[in-house]
Amino acid sequence: MNNKERYDKVFCDVTQVTTDQLSELKYRGVELWDSVGHMTLMAALEDEFDIMLDTDDIIDFSSYEKGKEILKKYDIVI
Amino acid sequence: MYHYQVTIENNPLEIYRFPYEPVDSNMFFLPSGETGIVFDPNENDELLSAFDQHGTRHIVIVLTHEHYDHTNGTRWLQSKIESELFCQQECANTISVEKGNGPKLVAFVLAARDAEDGGHRYEDFKASMKHYSLQADITFDKEDELIVGNIHLKCYSTPGHTPGSAIYLLGDKYVFTGDSLIQNTPTILRFKESDKAQYETVTRPFLKSLDKNMLVFPGHGEPFNINEAKYLY
C-alpha cells in the first residue's frame, strides 16, 4: 500500500466511513470521530507511520484534509 | 481533599480523596500506622500534610491503570517518601516507556473544553505537562493480595479500558475501580489499547458479581454505591 492507501485505511477503520466520504470528513462529523475516536485515530496513525505526533498537532488535526498537511511535518506525504 | 471514615471488620480506616483538577481523576490515600497506600498519584501538597498528620514514613503506590491522569504524580511522590510501586503486569509494561505515559489524551480533552467555552485550560496544562517513564517494583498477573500495615487488598486484573486495568477490593464492602467503573459514564472501550471483548467477558461479569451494597471509589468523581452504576447492569 502507498501512503494514501494507508492513511485512508486508518481513517476508515477508526471512523467506519467509506473512502468516498473521506475528503469531507471533519472532527465530530461522524459519531465515531468524537474525542475518544480522535485519540484512537491519532494513536493508529502514529503506529501506522511510526511517528510521535506533537500535542499541538493532535489538537489541530481537525479534518481528513488537515491531517495530510500535518503529516507533511513528519515527512509523510499523502 | 475529601475524607471518609470506613470500617473493615470492626476496624476503623480513613480514606482521603484528592481530585486531579484538570480531569477530576482521583488519588486516594489510606493510612495505616507508619505506612499506607496511595492510589493513582497526582501532585498535591495536601497529601504530604496528611502524611505528617498520620506519621506516615513509607507507602505503597498502587495504580488502577496506565493512563496519564492516574500516574502523573508518581515520580513526584517517589521523591517525597520511601515507596514501592505496585500494579498489574501489563500496566507495568506500558508505563516503563515514556510513550506509555503520554499526556496527549488529557491535553486534547482540555483543548476541546477550551474550544467550547474559550477557556485556557490547555495552555495551563501544557506549561506543567510531564514526560516520564516508571518502573514498577511489584506486579501481578490475574489476581493477587497486597497487605500494607493493617490494610488487606485483593487485586484483580480487569482488562478492557486498558490492558493493565485493575480493581482492588478492600474487605467486602469497598472497591477501587479506576476507570473500569464510573458512576454515570460508560466505561471507555474505544481507545486503541482498549479491548471491548475482554471487558464484556472478564471485567463486566466480575463487577456484576460483587455485592450490590459495595461502595465504589472510582477513578473519576465521588464514591457511589455499586448498584447506582448507570451502565453496569
Q: What is the CATH number of the domain that holds B30?
A: 3.60.15.10
Task: Assess if residue B96 is contained within a domain.
Answer: yes
Q: What pTM was computed for the model?
A: 0.92
pLDDT digits (tens, 9 = 90+) for B183-209: 999 999 999 899 999 999 999 999 999
User: Any chain A CB within 8 A of the CB of B99?
Assistant: yes
What is the extent of the structural domain holding B185? 2-100+133-228
Question: Is residue B35 scored above 90 in pLDDT?
Answer: yes
Helix (H, G, I), strand (E, B) or coil at B84: strand
> What's the whole-number mean pLDDT along residues A47-59?
93
Q: For residues B30 and A77, give the distance between their C-alpha atoms in angstroms, rounded to a whole number.
A: 52
Residue of A nearest to B111 (CA): A59
User: Any chain B CB within 8 A of the CB of A42?
Assistant: yes
Does the distance separating the beta carbons of A55 and B103 come in below 8 Å? yes
Superfamily of domain A3-72: ACP-like (1.10.1200.10)
Band (pLDDT 50/70/90 cuts) for residue B90 is: very high
Above pLDDT 70, what percent of chain A?
A: 100
Task: Assess if residue B108 is contained within a domain.
Answer: no
Task: Assess if residue B110 is contained within a domain.
Answer: no
Task: Assess if residue B216 is contained within a domain.
Answer: yes
Round the average pLDDT of chain B to a whole number and report it: 96
Band (pLDDT 50/70/90 cuts) for residue B112 is: confident
Task: Assess if residue B152 is contained within a domain.
Answer: yes
Residue of A nearest to B100 (CA): A43
Q: How many domains does chain B have?
A: 1
Distance from first CA to last CA of chain B, Å, rounded? 31
Task: Assess if residue B30 is contained within a domain.
Answer: yes
Does the distance separating the beta carbons of A43 and B193 come in below 8 Å? yes
Band (pLDDT 50/70/90 cuts) for residue B99 is: confident
> What's the whole-number mean pLDDT along residues B58-83?
97
Residue B60, class by beta-carbon neighbours within 10 Å (0-12 exposed, 13-18 middle, 19+ buried)?
Answer: buried
Maximum Cα–Cα distance for chain A, whole Å?
Answer: 30
Task: Assess if residue B118 is contained within a domain.
Answer: no
pLDDT digits (tens, 9 = 90+) for B3-34: 999 999 889 999 999 999 899 999 999 999 99
